[in-house]
Amino acid sequence: MANLLGQSGLSVCVIERDNAVFPLPRAGHFDDEVMRVWQAAGLADEIAATVRVNPGMRFVNADGQLLVDWPRPSVLGNQAWHASYRFHQPHIEQILRQGVQRFSTVKTRLGTEVISARREEARVCLGLRASTGDHETLSASYIVGCDGGRSAIRRFMDVGSTDHGSHEKWLVVDLLLSADRDDLGDFTVQYCDPERPTTYIRMVGNRRRWELMLMPGDDPDQIVKSDRVWQLLQPWIGPSEAQIERAVVYTFHALTANHWHQGRFLLAGDAAHQTPPFLGQGMCAGIRDASNLAWKLAAVVKGEASESLLDSYQQERAPHVKYYIDLAIRLGGVLQATDVSKVQERDRLLGTAPEQLVSEKPRLGLSGVNTNQSLAGLLSDQVYLDDGTRIDDRVGYDFAVLGSPDFMRNLPQSVRDILAGYTLIEDEAGQDYLQRVGAEAIVLRPDRYILGAAASVAEFESLLSLIPRRLRAGEPA
């Protein structure tokens, strides 16, 4: 959020309870859309140097029979990135922390906790406590709680949450290999064994992860001890081949906060929603939140849009998040089945005709900045331009218009005046994409979703009312 907002020139303060990046692995997957967000933040090349391309995921039953297959393409896709990546979270967090240092208007307060928050008419006032024990207050136009599943900001908002009915305890074990084990494979494997559902993940470098579902009779305090961990991992690997980096019990939740925006308070990431990890979409959803919200906050604070624009945040993001939560719960049901009759029925249906999954890009929920046009709210492709660059590299984290050269030449000057300050892409290279989607021009939002499309100048003009008015120097808000 701070790396995106930093480009707007707004005064931003990041308040972080911990003094240093948490050194152990946590989240482990992101997709091509998230890489586009890193790209918009100007950090994609650094991040790409630390990750590995993920070839996909397979669900197999206790007999090794394939139930669900989700291969990921090995070539760059429509987003101009690979469909799936594995990463080490401390590497990414360090890059993000270094990234905000590019912006003189972004301040970072490490070792500082928000202990109170109250609303004022035009501000929010925060009570802060440093790790030294010192207290102070800070006021801001808005606060965004990106503070996780036990969010203090959500508690201050008192908004409640909706339980989607998935709460399973799993042991997560991260290993550092001391010897090559190529036979473990590159694919993520979901072992749908009713005796103990288990997930194997190849992480980056020599890191490997196993996730094992706790079964009746398991003691969460005992199952994390090394002897018990190695006993559970015995079918795959032994203590002479790796060392345990982390073993911890998590409860995989499926929850959404009832309200993500309340006056000058907003929620993002796990503070707003939690999803089981079976799709690797939990952190991805939080990063999409930041990409959706940052440009809206900037437009509102700078006076380019009314405060009602912030109402579109949850309207658009909540259905999108729910899509992934529902799919994760469904696939979790395939993996976590332990009832004998249900397992037999699952294996009978999927064992004879394995389900083939493909990566989908769901549409945003409809809102005031996302009309019911056929293309509005869909994630755009990342087009390569005439000079070989990707469109996001030309545009940055901002609005852009991609139009056919003939169409753009015929735009009235009055329309071009409205678009002053925005990037207009008139390359021939965009023609194939425009023809494929059936438009003469499309308006791209900073989060790379399509604001709308036009087949005529009149349709294009009607879209312009949805674009925040770019203020010129010296013009009052």
Q: pLDDT, tens digit, for every residue of 14-63?
A: 999 999 999 999 999 999 999 999 999 999 999 999 999 999 999 999 99
Pick the closest to residue 394 from 366, 429, 432, 343 (CA basis).
429
pLDDT for residue 382 is more than 60: yes
pLDDT tens-digit profile of 70-118? 999 999 999 999 999 999 999 999 999 999 999 999 999 999 999 999 9
Half-sphere exposure for 386 (CA within 13 Å, toward CB): 8
Nearest 5°: phi and psi at 269?
A: 70, -145
Query: CATH 3.40.30.120: which residues of the chain?
Result: 391-466
Rounded Cα distance between 390 and 159, Å, is 41
Confidence at residue 473, expressed as pLDDT on a 0 to 100 scale:
40
The pLDDT > 70 percentage for the chain reads 98
Rounded Cα distance between 210 and 437, Å, is 42
Query: CATH 3.50.50.60: which residues of the chain?
Result: 2-51+86-160+258-323
How far, in Å, are 246, 263, 271, 415 from residue 367 at the CA level?
43, 18, 22, 24
- H-helix or E-strand spanning residue 140: strand 135-140
Rounded Cα distance between 115 and 311, Å, is 26
Q: How many helices (H) and strands (E) does the chain have?
A: 15, 26
- CATH superfamily, domain 2-51+86-160+258-323, is FAD/NAD(P)-binding domain (3.50.50.60)
Taking phi over 0 as left and psi of -120 to 50 as alpha, with beta for the rest, 396 belongs to: left
pTM: 0.95
Residue 225 pairs with which residues in a beta bridge? none
Q: pLDDT band for 470, please (50, 70, 90 cuts).
A: low
pLDDT for residue 202 is more than 70: yes
Compute how many other C-beta atoms are within 10 angstroms of the C-beta atom of residue 367: 17
Identify the CATH number of the domain defined by range 391-466: 3.40.30.120
pLDDT tens-digit profile of 410-454? 899 988 888 888 899 998 889 999 999 999 999 999 999 999 999
